[in-house]
Chains A and B, each alone.
Chain A
Amino acid sequence: AQSVAQPEDQVNVAEGNPLTVKCTYSVSGNPYLFWYVQYPNRGLQFLLKYITGDNLVKGSYGFEAEFNKSQTSFHLKKPSALVSDSALYFCAVRDTGANNLFFGTGTRLTVIP
């Protein structure tokens, strides 16, 4: 069975400060990991993914995430937050051999000017 945990419902960070949105996962095989962002009343926008290769993955809008197999984590990071980064962020996992994504409960990021 696959599962995803986003332990923080809400993350607040000051503009210009680094941000981290946490995600841990559980799969039976090798994970495919994804981060998506959702703005109000909109669908999800793809940010980045880890399939294989380098543990540090760089994605859209300056975001990056680090795959840590021993800690089963895939935290989303950005060195300097923008007010426009304020949105709902979802971590998702797909187990090898599976077709569908399993989503975390989401973390609302608020960047304070």
Chain B
Amino acid sequence: GAVVSQHPSRVICKSGTSVKIECRSLDFQATTMFWYRQFPKQSLMLMATSNEGSKATYEQGVEKDKFLINHASLTLSTLTVTSAHPEDSSFYICSAPPSGKETQYFGPGTRLLVL
């Protein structure tokens, strides 16, 4: 099956710093990737849709200047949490459907802890 990787798997940072999370599709191309946030014991909430070669589409309530998304190629999307604060601590998960396919494949997630 299709494989999606995320890096890093876990990051601890100080408040005010920026953190970059990478999402890669390893064996397929994806013109679209999705970024989700998951709080403990809760469901996944879609943050934004990353589009290769164009601007990301953000869900209502998600600050685009806070969560910068860059879809640099057909296999890589990055999420940068700028000026991170403790309330940004969460589990961030990306997903990607192979181009033209319905099924989304998910990365293993990145756990962010902001001190």
Contacts and interface: CB of A to CB of B under 8 A. Distances in A.
A84 interface: no
Interface residues of A, number: 21
A41 B43 contact: no
Contacts, number: 49
What is the interface of chain B mostly: helix, strand, loop, or mixed? strand
Interface residues of B, number: 22
Interface string B60-90: 0000000000000000000000000000000
A102 B108 CA distance: 19
Given A34-B103, A94-B102, A43 B109 contact: yes
A13 to B, nearest CB: 20
Interface of B: 1, 4, 6, 32, 34, 42-44, 46, 49, 91, 93, 95, 102-109, 111
